[in-house]
Amino acid sequence: MSDDPTTLLSKNEVLKQNDPLLAGTIAATLADPTTDRFTEDDTQFLKFHGIYQQDDRDLRKAGKKFMMMIRSRIPGGVMTAAQWITFDDLATNYGNNTLRVTTRQCIQFHGVLKSGLGALIKQIHESLLSTLAACGDINRNITASPTPAHTKVREQVYADALQSALALAPKTKAYHAIWLDHVQLDLAEPEHKAFVDPLYGPTYLPRKFKISFVVPPVNDMDVFTNDLGFIAITEGDQLVGYNVAVGGGMGRSHGNVQTFPRLADVIGFVAPEHVIEIAKAVITTFRDHGDRANRKHARFKYVVEERGVDWVRAEISRRAGVALAPARAYEFTTTGDLYGWHRAVDGSLFLTLFVETGRIKDVPGHAQKTALRQVAEKFPHIEFRLSANQNVILANVPERDRAGLTALLATHGVKVDKQTSILHAASMACPSLPTCGLALAESERMLPALIDRIEKLGGELGLGGEEIIIRSTGCPNGCARPYMAEIAFVGKAPGRYQLWLGGNAAGTRLNRVFKETVKETEIEAELRPLLTRWRDERRLGERFGDFCSRIVLPEQIPAGAAGDAAPATLS
């Protein structure tokens, strides 16, 4: 709860207080064939079950067509081939025939009607995965580095992430009652009325909470954007522990200087056996000190920013009963994925496939959805891994399968070499329109063509082949981690974006606002002089984001200022 007991609670807090099982009237609405939607109150409970009620905004002139976005919870992004087949079937039978890889190593289904919701979630559960706690005011899907190339430590890190996901899952019985047993829980029953989650308490968290595990030197999880990050510290092939980072987050609101993106602070080091105690201590610190009156201010990053790192470190140590040791040395060099074929440390092969804006679908000449389905059917021993860069990794591939797998993909137009251009490979976008109710501008449908235009501009300037990390979002909430990109477009209105510059390749520096509003049609004109200066004035090997942070932004913005974003960390 808020430190001030007289503070008025937000509407969401009152809902949770009145229904700690998070059941609402979801079961009754599911059983009612006369309605195509859930009540406004139930849409808040649905989020805890991994569901967002949406409508197709392209069709609003003809009236709202309600549908659901369902987000799965896949710890570390690891799926079996059988699970992939299940998800492919569900997308075909109940969704819009696409699978959307998220930046948190999950799969989202879009376009699901209420009538198909029950069957979809039941089959996900039967596949031994879930949607519980994929959304809502709770710890969400725990991410972990998926690439097996660098060190055997990755396997232990994944095991720690999986164990943490199980330990931090909510205990409400409503999920199974509604989706598996098809019953409406009676909140008047003493057992249900008195329910209090042993970790999250009667009203769960003030807002969402995110945890990530990462293995240096690759920061493929953008670990500093998480509420809680565990940075693996290794000696040879041994995991000796984790540096603990707290207080990261991307969300902000246009015109509200009290909201800003923030990078997590590294507060110390713990042994692997203390990971769960530390995670619970951080979560309960947020639970007890987060803002429950103003949801725009209800993130753990604001607790860290306002209370201070020393206070947070001491509080976490006290709650965990674990003294944090001084942080150990580490280095990040990249946030990117290794595309194409590579060999893992255990001798097996893995293949990373580029997925444009995370959307797995079939289009003429590139039937990626069908190709991956057939891979799962013909190579059932292969493991599917989702990357936080919205790509798919096929892991544990024996040498004998390499040629056949490559040939199968080729029959559907899916390349394993030179899969896309360097700018497309380093890009990300949120879904935005037409499904997201928060969208102010296009993102997923806009970015690929815009990158083509930026590549053309780069070619004209003699910059072809230069990598620049480019990300876009349709609103300022930051789902595609735009505030870490070298160039970011953040939607403000139809066809209009904020332009942010200056992130770095290692994911250790926030970018900053360069221009408050740029029309989508005028982006080349805005970038041309910047790219020209980079070409002519940069240091040897200096990336665009580093050049902008060093030269362009100091000229445009006084140190420490960033328009209406007011970022707390500009390392």
Closest CA relative to residue 292, chosen from 203, 206, 202, 205: 206
* Residues acting as catalytic residues: 71, 140, 208, 210, 430, 436, 475, 479
Question: For residue 344, what are the contacts with CB-CB under 8 A and spacing of at least 6?
Answer: 148, 149, 350, 395, 396
Residue 62: what pLDDT? 87
Burial of 294 (0-12, 13-18, 19+ CB in 10 A): middle
Closest CA relative to residue 137, chosen from 9, 317, 223, 244: 9
Closest CA relative to residue 488, chosen from 504, 508, 464: 504
Per-residue model confidence as pLDDT tens digits over 256-281 = 999 999 999 999 999 999 999 999 99
The amino acid present at 52, given as its one-letter code, is Y
Question: Residue 193: is its pLDDT beyond 90?
Answer: no
Per-residue model confidence as pLDDT tens digits over 242-256 = 999 999 999 999 999
Confidence of residue 562 (pLDDT cuts 50, 70, 90): very low
Residue 4: what pLDDT? 52
Question: Residue 536: is its pLDDT beyond 70?
Answer: yes
Q: What domains, with CATH codes, occur in the chain?
A: 138-170+187-335 (3.30.413.10), 340-420 (3.90.480.10), 423-556 (3.30.413.10)
Question: Residue 570: is its pLDDT beyond 70?
Answer: no
What is the mean predicted confidence (pLDDT) over 84-107? 98
Residue 187: what pLDDT? 78
383, 396 Cβ separation under 8 angstroms: yes
Per-residue model confidence as pLDDT tens digits over 300-356 = 999 999 999 999 999 999 999 999 999 999 999 999 999 999 999 999 999 999 999
Residue 162: what pLDDT? 98
What is the mean predicted confidence (pLDDT) over 392-420? 98
What tokens does 63 get? 């009236």
Confidence of residue 104 (pLDDT cuts 50, 70, 90): very high
DSSP assigned state of 541: T
Confidence of residue 566 (pLDDT cuts 50, 70, 90): very low
Question: Residue 510: is its pLDDT beyond 80?
Answer: yes
Residue 416: what pLDDT? 98
Residue 324: what pLDDT? 98
Residue 400: what pLDDT? 98
Report the relative pairing of strands 143-144 and 107-112 from DSSP bridges.
unpaired
What is the mean predicted confidence (pLDDT) over 131-141? 97
Confidence of residue 565 (pLDDT cuts 50, 70, 90): very low
Q: Is the dihedral of CA 188, 190, 196, 197 positive or negative?
A: negative
Question: Residue 440: is its pLDDT beyond 60?
Answer: yes
Residue 105: what pLDDT? 98
Per-residue model confidence as pLDDT tens digits over 341-380 = 999 999 999 999 999 999 999 999 999 999 999 999 999 9
Residue 312: what pLDDT? 98
Per-residue model confidence as pLDDT tens digits over 460-496 = 999 999 999 999 999 999 999 999 999 999 999 999 9
Residue 183: what pLDDT? 87
Q: Mean pLDDT for the chain?
A: 94
Question: Residue 106: is its pLDDT beyond 80?
Answer: yes
